[in-house]
Amino acid sequence: MIYAEHLRKEFKKTVKSPGLKGSFKALFRPKKEIVVAAEDISFHVPEGEILGFIGPNGAGKSTVIKMLTGILTPTSGFCRINGKIPQNDRKKYVREIGAVFGQRTQLWWDLPLQETYLVLKEIYEVDDDRFQKRMAFLNEVLELESFIKSPVRTLSLGQRMRADIAASMLHSPKVLFLDEPTIGLDVVVKDNIRQAIMKINKEEKTTVILTTHDISDIELLCDRIVMIDKGKNVYDGSLRELRENFGQSRELIFETDPSATLTTDQFRNGLNLKGNDLVIEREKNTFKVRFNSAKIPVGKMLSYTLSLTKVKDISVKDADIEEIIRNLYRQGEFMDE
């Protein structure tokens, strides 16, 4: 369905030395510098999959999405979606896709929301019958009814985002690109939007590429994730695999007497562990012991702790994906140094 092969995008940027003097210099003799926004990105998404496309800020996610939607032309490499090269025939290609860029809107700013949908209906040649059904469906999932007659510029962020998502789904696209669709939204609206994505994916086998910084978006929606950093692929696989490969981290939470002291050094020396394999955080009477269960089994860690101090309460936490991703990001940084 979606093939991205060695996508690379370079931008020319004028660099300016700081200050007014630098500005003048740049005015007369601009110094150009090439910025590589995406270095070498490849992945493949089968039909009907929801792919979580993640990475830290500035990793090149948006640039890749813009190449996939045909707005930007890759410097080298290519992508093929639904058998089409986006850059070749933009008008035909965009008919089959829908896109939401969380920071922008495709709605008609000065018109009542309803008008935008009528315009889109004509642009995408959706017939009356289909349009009615579609609007009913979107109304139901995204609850547009209460503000559909208000001008778009008066909508709140949550309303606008729901409206934008609806606009991207109106013409039943085969592929949906969602670039941070839940940015800055409250829990209820996020849930609405997730429901809509899930339903449309299930009922119409819509392929979805989703970028987000919200881990629960990924956990709830995505079958697979592709992680990029600094314009390169870092990880490509299912969420479960990621957990298995990188998710050896466990957390034990001990509630103890106020007088007890457990320190990271003490544990590291006692158990012969290093660096990220063991970290202890203290919060009043509770100690969070985070450790790599591949290096030391949970049972051993438990008995070791119990031998050191009196414990009132114990709880065990599984590796959460946020932690794993944080670790992966960090690893990337270490590799650079």
Partner 1 sequence: MNKMMRRYVPFMKAGIQTLITYRLNFLGFVIGGLIYCFVMFYLWRSVFESNGGGMFLGFSMTDMVIFLFLSNTTGQLIFSSVGEQIGEEIRDGSITMRLLKPVNTDLSYLFAELGEVLMKVIVLLIPMVLGLEIYRFCVTGTLVFNPVNFLWYLLSAALAYLISFRVNLCFGFIAFYVKNLWGIGILKNSVIGFLSGSLIPLAFMPEGLRVCLEYLPFASMNYTPVMLYMGKYAAWEILFRIGLQIVWALLLFGLSKLIWFGAIKKLCIQGG
* Position 320, amino acid: D
201 is a site residue for partner 1 (CB under 8 A): no
Smallest distance from partner 1 to CB 273, Å: 41
Nearer to partner 1, 55 or 70 (CB): 70
Rounded distance, CA 76 to CA 50, Å?
26
Give the closest residue to 300 by CA, choosing from 327, 274, 267. 267
CA separation for the pair 64, 70 (Å, rounded): 10
Is residue 66 within the footprint of partner 1 (CB under 8 A)?
Answer: yes
Say how far residue 36 (Cα) sits from the centre of its chain.
Answer: 21
Neighbours of 326 (CB within 10 A): 13
Question: What is the x/- site pattern for partner 1, positions 113-152, by CB under 8 A?
Answer: --x--xx--xxxx-------------------------x-
Binding-site member from 23, 76, 103, 303 for partner 1 (CB under 8 A): 103
What is the closest distance, in whole angstroms, from the C-beta atom of residue 257 to partner 1 in the complex? 51
Q: How far is the CB of 36 from partner 1 (least distance, A)?
A: 13
Reading the block at residue 124, the tokens are: 């995408």
Q: What are phi and psi of 264, to 5 degrees?
A: -60, -45
The nearer residue to partner 1, 29 or 91, going by C-beta atoms, is 91
Please pick, from the candidates 55, 56, 60, 70, the single residue that binds partner 1 as defined by CB under 8 A: 70
Q: Identify which of 46, 92, 38, 89 has the alpha carbon closest to the alpha carbon of residue 62.
A: 38
Separation of alpha carbons 206 and 177, rounded Å: 10
Closest distance to partner 1 from the beta carbon of 109 (Å): 8
| Whole-Å CA distances, 10 to 37, 39, 313 | 6, 8, 55
Q: Is 91 in the site for partner 1 (CB under 8 A)?
A: yes
- Which among 66-74, 186-194, 252-260, 289-297 is the span making contact with partner 1, rule CB under 8 A? 66-74
Give me the residues that bind partner 1 (CB under 8 A), please.
11, 62, 66, 69-73, 90-92, 94-95, 97, 99, 101, 103-106, 108, 110-111, 115, 118-119, 122-125, 151
